[in-house]
Chain A
Amino acid sequence: MKEISFTLNNKKVAVTIDPMKRLIDVIREDLRLTGTKEGCGIGECGACTVLVDKKAVCSCMMLIGQVEGKEVITIEGIEKDGELSPLQKNFIKYGAIQCGFCTPGMIMSTTALLMENPNPTEEEIRIAISGNLCRCTGYVQIIEAIQATANETK
């Protein structure tokens, strides 16, 4: 057991925990933020994507001990003061959501992309979300939603 301090969705948190516990398990079980999903447990599907220091990472591939002092953002931290982010609004508007299980991870990967590259090409978008599997949408409307968001913020 060890005390781990980090920033979670802009709030300082400290948990006393086995540092070898996976980040996803701490987020979902100990902090009860269930928006982050687990689809494969081996870093292949991207459903568990969160931001650690503004980089998209699979939270099933990270241990809680590794986030000491870092900034973690989950899907719950994307909505600001009850207002959806432009990306979230466009996911809704463009029909980028079917079953919705991949959606939080997809939003997190794309949020990281747009922070780093506000004006991505279609190819850059496709590469950025290529680690997020979606079985429902064929990705088309997801890509449209991301392009629309990039265009709006130009």
Chain B
Amino acid sequence: MKNNIFSVVGKNLPRTDAYEKVTGRAQYAADISFPGMCFAAQKKTTVPHGIIKNIDISQAERVTGVEVIITHKDVPGNNISGVIKYDQPVFSFDKIYCPADVVSLVVGEDKEAVQKALTLIKIEVEELPVLSDYTHALDKDALLIHPENKSNLINHYPLRKGNIEKGFQESDVIIERTYTTPAIEHAYIEPECITAVPDFRKDVYKIYGSVQNPFTCRRIVAQVMKVPLANIHIIQNELGGSFGGKDDTMDMLAARACVACKKVGKPVRIHLSREESIIESYKRHPYTMNYKVGVSNKGILKAMKIDILADGGAYASMSPFVTWRSVVQATGPYEVKNVHTDVRAVYTNNPYTGAMRGFGSPQIIFAQESLMDELADELHMSPIEIRRINGYKQDSETASGQILSNHVVSLNQVIDKATKESDFEKKYETYKAKYSVEGNSHSINLILNDNQFSAGSNIKEGIGLACSFRGCSLGAEGVDATGSLISIQKDGSVYLISGLAENGQGLRMTFSMIAAETLGISPDDIYYLEQDTSRVADGGPTVASRSTLVGGEAVKNAAEIVKKRIEKMLIDEWELSERATFKFADHYIVHEGSGKKIAVSEACDKAYLNGVNLSAYGWFKAPEVDWDEEIGQGPAYFTYVYGCQIAEVEVNAASGKILVKRVTAVHDAGQIINRLGALGQIYGGVSMGAGYGIMEEVIVKNAEIQNINFDEYLIPTSVDVGEIRAFFVENPDRFGPFGAKSLGEPTLEITAAAINNAVANALGKRFYHLPLDLEQIKTGKTLYQIKK
């Protein structure tokens, strides 16, 4: 079909970096070492909130094998840092804001000596009361985390559209519900590791590590070190997973390691244990969401009043951006004339929260999509019908007043495909009829025999649907541009690098395929350069599912610049008309009029001999977007993607255990570049989404995390999620390379909501709090464990 127009794009191609990964040769941050390298361990307090009275390092300094102990006094530049707001101390000095805070760093070549010294640092802290319940952070008498702000409010986004009172007056049915979601750990399997290495040039540092966003890291380190940006080189090692999680944490670690590196004049490494990683790294935001929705008897949404509170933890981090996406997408992919939304993020003493795959969407989708099913029930409609009536269609208007006209609005297409592939309607009605006949099987019986947990009548089947729309890339968050550098050698082999970084998702392969398609070569001809901030222009962060769309377009642009130069040379060489057209495919360049052809490698050799420049910088600046912060109106993103997932579950009504039997996932991500990689994104996203749905929760008590390793923080294993069926709907986008859009985050954001709807279909009872773990299903509550 349409894939025939491409020779590389849209194919199932194995990644070019797979060989080194499958043999153990790939070099992750902890796999490299440097002569004379010192190890640094971080000293934290056990107090979540307090005034630092004294830091005594005298005893620790005397430990043999310890080179130096670093505190805030050693920081040459900014000791207060942050990715958006400056509110996080690199080294704590006056106050402890949360248990993640680091007071000092012990540095030495001997790991055991370093650990011993760590225990000898005496920090005197006057404990302050702790604010851990974020729902009380804005109370009049609330304890202030950063008193200089006069409030715990990090940010507030209002959105006002139409007339909310009028909307409710016109409604026949009004329901109001509160949904809550927990903090979530990224759980990348590679813990954080960074090494700062001094350079022979003065005040120059090379920093190697598991860094998601090298340019953000460079900015933070340069500010902390008080040196020009150009003096800090961030070299990214193979990244063992990130999912949004190796940004701020890595920036802080890099800055601390660099301060120590300056002081000892030797390479300094910080390598976190899993426990340190979970305690210190930021999380996905817990949300409390109050939705009041009015609908007519015919099922038309008339009004939505939404009030959302997000726990930002001790530092602002990405809260202002995460919660902005929530305000844009809070109504879901539905047309509502009257909307009144408030989204607020607040400070507490809890672990700070920031970017995680989904970025403010998994929470609100859980609420919206649960609510849509409940509305359908109230109106005796099917979940599909209510979505058909209200769902976005071509030229629909969003809550922020944006008309969806510049791309194919494919919500109905993805819903159709998903419902057909899963036989949704029939199963939904069958399961629903079952519980209404049997009655509510959900009863609390605390004393059960083993055989009562077994299958048979205890197993209740259910199917649930959820869908979403998602703005691609950064939107009105900020500058959205990125570059790419291509350099073709005279034999046709290619160096390629982008301003965006490989996070393990397959960016290098996708970019290699885009360049290969443009130049008529194979991805195997491309050597993707090591990521180093000194090699390529600052292209912003690798976030927001923007890589294929924005980064890919910059790669295509670079390849096209070189391609045009080769064409010009051939026009001269073959004495063709200026308007001659060529086809670059399968390692040959063919003049389409005469059929005259030349191998790409030969053409490159010719170009080299003719002094033609075969290197180019490509650039892509995203189309303009806009946002009015006062009323929350404007075209928030320049294009959108649509997805629908259907979950089929078996709930053991006796034990409360949910088995996610099958998930059917349909996504319109525009033209797929690497089908094999795209499937991997769906499978991984659904699995992570299922974890959010049924098992994951960072348990925080008095601001302290209780589950700090994988024995207690559970993520899905190979036996926890059943079959995942992935389908693509491919409506090419006008902006992305070859029509590609975004996929990474859309795959994860919908699953938990679909599971919640499936559980409701199975049990005839609704849940409003994630995760749907055993105690939630059995008791409707979360029963927190006490730390051992």
Contacts and interface: CB of A to CB of B under 8 A. Distances in A.
B373 to A, nearest CB: 25
A76 B24 contact: yes
Interface string A106-118: 0100000000000
Interface in A56-97: 74-76, 78-79, 84, 88, 91-95, 97
B240 interface: yes
B677 interface: yes
Contact of A103 (B22, B505, B716): B22
A133 interface: yes
B717 A135 contact: no
A100 B680 contact: no
A139 B683 contact: yes
20 contacts: A34-B27, A36-B24, A37-B28, A38-B191, A39-B189, A41-B274, A42-B710, A45-B274, A92-B15, A95-B15, A100-B26, A101-B190, A101-B241, A130-B719, A133-B189, A135-B243, A139-B683, A139-B718, A139-B721, A142-B718
A136 B18 CA distance: 14
Given A101-B240, A135-B189, A138-B684, A40 B274 contact: yes
Contacts of B24: 33-36, 74-76, 104
B187 interface: yes
Chain A binding site: helix, strand, loop or mixed by DSSP? loop
A135 B688 contact: yes
A93 B14 contact: yes
A34 B12 CA distance: 30
B202 interface: no
5 closest residue pairs by CB, A with B: A35-B24, A99-B504, A101-B240, A100-B21, A138-B687
Given A40-B274, A79-B23, A100-B238, A137 B683 contact: yes
B188 A135 contact: yes
A17 interface: no
A91 B710 contact: no
Interface string A17-35: 0000000000000000111
Interface in A95-154: 95, 97-104, 107, 125-127, 129-143
Contact of B711 (A42, A137, A138): A42
B683 to A, nearest CB: 3
Contact of A99 (B14, B20, B241, B686): B241
A100 B237 CA distance: 12
A99 B190 contact: yes
A44 B364 CA distance: 32
B273 A100 contact: no
B83 interface: no
Given A79-B23, A100-B240, A101-B189, 8 more contacts: A44-B709, A75-B24, A78-B23, A88-B22, A100-B238, A127-B718, A131-B717, A133-B187
B715 interface: yes
A76 to B, nearest CB: 6
A47 interface: yes
A145 to B, nearest CB: 10
B473 interface: no
Given A41-B273, A139-B683, A91 B709 contact: no
A72 to B, nearest CB: 14
A127 B677 CA distance: 25
A107 B22 contact: yes
Nearest to A44: B710
Given A101-B190, A135-B243, A127 B719 contact: yes
A98 B190 contact: no
Contacts of B717: 130-131, 133, 139
B148 interface: no
B15 A135 contact: no
A146 to B, nearest CB: 10
Contacts of B186: 135
